[in-house]
Amino acid sequence: MYRADATRYEKMQYRKTGQSGLKLPLLSLGLWQNFGDYDPISKQREILRGAFDLGITHFDLANNYGGPAGAAEINFGRLFKEDFQSYRDELIISSKAGYHMWEGPYGEWGSRKSIIASCDQSLQRMGLDYVDIFYHHRPDPDTPLEETAEALMQLVRQGKTLYIGISNYNGADTKAMTEILRKKDAPFVIHQMRYNMFSRELLEDDLAPVLAEEGLGAITYSPLAQGLLTNRYLHGIPEDSRAHRKEIPFLSEDQVAPTLKKISQLQEIAESRDQTLAQMALAWNLRQKSVTSVLVGASRLSQLQESVKMMDHLEFSTEEEKQIETIL
């Protein structure tokens, strides 16, 4: 029987999400990859238990996560029932709807039909009565924002989610959605977006002013740029890397090659800070005022154990920021 580490809350720092009362750990665990049917359930259990023992209280999922789609929620539901049910009130569990999940016109995007059905399916797969945060995963160009907003609000009224979030929206659509949801007294508190040293524009140039003005928090995914901001590519492109494997669409050798010099230069700064490149990259995300938490995936518990050490050195000197900006 699993018993959580009694000192878990001494190991993690927590931040408020925007102007809400919801606090999230600085590091959250994303179950996008490594939690499907192709991954041993024993390893998934080790990662989830280890994460919670480190004070990571937020587990982030979506309807289509895993491999095949839905598998991550099913596997999480099994492990939740076996290990975490007694800790439910200590956990923030999130899920999302918006990307393709089932055939036909209702299996993706942002219609009321799609969002309500998707949330019901996710709750069933995980064996939960509610999630803490439910996101619309991407903007839908063919559905009015008002309809999507009302669907999310219906989930709140039905007790299926405590908070509302959106993901991958631009600044204008985020502001418009905020105005609609505020009129409904919605608990809309968070935006999830890609953000890392090599992918900065959406947050820094577009979303940051809106988040500040509207009192929303941000949670960032892909903080390590699919492994680029680790020691994986310091000596070139490994044969077994994601960039070398053509079946993985998120990285390619053409994308990676121009960054290799920058990675090496960033590594030098990380070493001067007594950090790994990955730890510095995570801390770099958290220097943004709007960022509440950084989402990381893990194929091994040791990766999480190394990642949380970024909290030992979160601050950046003015000179360090200048050096990083020059490199980027």
Q: Which residues contact 42 (CB under 8 A, 6 or more apart)?
A: none
At 81, list the tokens: 């029932």
Residue 184 burial (CB < 10 Å; 0-12/13-18/19+)? middle
Q: Where exactly are the structural domains of the chain?
A: 12-325
244 has a pLDDT exceeding 60: no
72 has a pLDDT exceeding 80: yes
Mean pLDDT of 275-299: 97
- Model confidence at 252, in pLDDT bands (50, 70, 90)? low
Residue 62 · residue 51 · CB < 8 Å:
no
Q: CA-CA distance, 148 to 152, in Å (whole number)? A: 6
292 has a pLDDT exceeding 70: yes
290 has a pLDDT exceeding 60: yes
Considering all CA atoms of the chain, what is the largest pairwise distance in Å, rounded to the nearest integer?
54
Q: Which tens digits make up the pLDDT trace of 82-98?
A: 999 999 999 999 999 99
126 has a pLDDT exceeding 70: yes
At 97, list the tokens: 């709807």
Q: Which tens digits make up the pLDDT trace of 193-242?
A: 999 999 999 999 999 999 999 999 999 999 999 889 998 777 666 655 55
pLDDT of residue 251: 60
CA distances from 74 to 63, 117, 128, 142 (A): 10, 16, 11, 30
Q: What does the angle CA 299 – CA 304 – CA 309 come to, to the nearest 5 degrees?
A: 155
pLDDT of residue 171: 98
pLDDT of residue 241: 53
- Model confidence at 247, in pLDDT bands (50, 70, 90)? very low
Q: CA-CA distance, 167 to 193, in Å (whole number)? A: 6
CATH number among 3.40.50.2300, 3.40.50.1360, 3.20.20.100, 3.30.870.10, domain 12-325: 3.20.20.100
122 has a pLDDT exceeding 50: yes
Alpha helices in 94-189 (DSSP H): 112-126, 145-157, 171-183
Q: List, as own/partner pairs, every contact residues 255-260 make where C-beta atoms lie below 8 angstroms and the sequence separation is at least 24, other chains included.
A: 256/228, 259/198, 259/228, 259/233, 260/233, 260/236
Q: Which residues contact 201 (CB under 8 A, 6 or more apart)?
A: none
Alpha helices in the chain (DSSP H): 41-53, 71-79, 112-126, 145-157, 171-183, 201, 208-214, 253-256, 260-272, 277-286, 301-307, 318-327
Other beta carbons within 10 Å of 245: 11
